[in-house]
């Protein structure tokens, strides 16, 4: 193969806010035997290039769903999404193209050649940077390398729609999801499952466990009550609640935590310094932890928005 590492020059006047082609992909990684990281590069015979796994969104598909699907289709390896890595913008014959990227931790599976990809190589990050054909892919890999280790995700979810307190005659903790809220909870399970959660926690108000119950049912998880992350408990001792969230994040796998709108913006502010942090109903913050620190914070609106 000839060395055709392109400069990937783009047209500065192109409006990439309205792309003609939208795609998604990932830096797929795994721990190496020596404690370093390896990433998977794929060879596409059609273009005779080495690239990161990616592909175009299907009709009605969201970018995170497409990223994970394309990784699995091109590599035959299961994975779980992590932090966003940003976008690549460039021109193709169809016009302006935007590719959304995530980091993704590899799970099980063995590569099987297919009509799109005939070879996969697991390489250390330095060697991967040398082999990648395109500057834009090396830039994505550099973004991934800014972390000493990829952040550990914690999924912080605001409960779905539950009507208003004035329309509910019972105790507020028993106010359930509305039909729209149950639809949001069902749609949330598809998004949250992309990140491979293995533990589930919820503030006591019934609308919180109801919001992540479809996810728990899908993955066979038990939802553990987390009183410190309810509005009533949080404002009595925010430091204790923050310490508890850090404790949940410190586990070896990915937790999902459902809380309330009076808690989440302040938590995110304390962890990231983002004083304008929003938290609309059925939205999710994917907080990437490195030790006790949050080093990435990605906001996902309610599904369908």
Span between the terminal Cα atoms of the chain, in Å: 44
Q: Is the pLDDT of residue 157 over 70?
A: yes
Q: Which residue has the tokens 């996902």?
A: 300
Which of these, 25, 151, 5, lies nearest to 88 by C-alpha position? Answer: 25
Q: Which CATH class is domain 152-300?
A: alpha beta
Confidence category of residue 169, pLDDT binned at 50, 70, 90: confident
Q: Is the pLDDT of residue 172 over 90?
A: no
State residue 15's pLDDT score: 64
Q: Is the pLDDT of residue 154 over 90?
A: yes
**For the chain, what are the domain ranges?**
21-145, 152-300
Check: CB of residue 144 under 8 Å from CB of residue 150. yes
Mean pLDDT score across all residues of the chain: 93
Q: Identical fold at 21-145 and 152-300? A: no
Confidence category of residue 9, pLDDT binned at 50, 70, 90: very low
pLDDT in tens, 89-138: 999 999 999 999 999 999 999 999 999 999 999 999 999 999 999 999 99
Q: Is the pLDDT of residue 1 over 60?
A: no
Task: Give the DSSP H/E element, type plus range, for residue 254.
Answer: strand 254-259
Confidence category of residue 224, pLDDT binned at 50, 70, 90: very high
Segment 11-33 shows an average pLDDT of 84
Q: Into which CATH architecture does domain 21-145 fall?
A: Alpha-Beta Complex (3.90)
Q: Is the pLDDT of residue 7 over 60?
A: no
Q: Is the pLDDT of residue 6 over 60?
A: no
pLDDT in tens, 229-261: 999 999 999 999 999 999 999 988 999 999 999
Which of these, 6, 214, 194, lies nearest to 90 by C-alpha position? Answer: 6
Segment 21-34 shows an average pLDDT of 96
Which of these, 45, 289, 49, 31, lies nearest to 152 by C-alpha position? Answer: 289
State residue 275's pLDDT score: 83
Segment 65-75 shows an average pLDDT of 97
Cα angle: 49, vertex 118, 45; to 5 degrees: 40
Q: Of all residues in the chain, what percent carry a pLDDT higher than 90?
A: 87
State residue 301's pLDDT score: 96
């Amino acid at each position: 193969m000839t060395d055709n590492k392109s400069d990937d020059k783009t047209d500065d006047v192109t409006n990439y806010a309205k792309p003609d082609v939208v795609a998604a992909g990932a830096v797929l990684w795994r721990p190496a035997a020596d404690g370093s990281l390896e990433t998977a590069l794929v060879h596409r015979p059609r273009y005779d290039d080495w690239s990161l796994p990616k592909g175009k969104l299907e009709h009605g598909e969201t970018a995170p769903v497409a990223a994970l699907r394309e990784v699995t289709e091109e590599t035959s390896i299961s994975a779980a999404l992590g932090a966003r890595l940003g976008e690549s913008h460039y021109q193709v014959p169809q016009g302006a193209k935007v590719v959304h990227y995530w980091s993704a931790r590899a799970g099980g599976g063995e590569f099987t050649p297919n009509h799109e990809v005939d070879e996969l190589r697991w390489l250390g990050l330095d060697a991967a940077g040398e082999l990648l054909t395109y500057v834009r892919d090396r830039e994505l890999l550099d973004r991934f390398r800014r972390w000493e280790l990829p952040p550990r995700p914690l999924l912080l979810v605001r409960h779905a729609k539950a009507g208003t307190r004035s329309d509910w005659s019972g105790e507020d903790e028993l106010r359930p999801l509305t039909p729209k809220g149950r639809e949001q909870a069902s749609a949330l399970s598809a998004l949250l499952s992309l990140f491979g959660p293995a533990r589930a926690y919820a503030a006591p108000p019934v609308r919180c466990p109801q919001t992540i119950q479809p996810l728990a049912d899908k993955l066979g998880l038990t939802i553990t009550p987390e009183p410190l992350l309810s509005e009533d408990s949080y404002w009595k001792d925010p430091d204790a609640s923050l310490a508890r969230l850090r404790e949940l994040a410190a586990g070896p796998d990915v937790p999902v935590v459902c809380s309330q709108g009076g808690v989440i913006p302040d938590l995110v502010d304390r962890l990231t310094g983002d004083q304008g942090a929003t938290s609309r109903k059925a939205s999710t913050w994917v907080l990437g932890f490195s030790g006790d620190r949050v080093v990435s914070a990605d906001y996902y609106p309610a599904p369908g928005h």
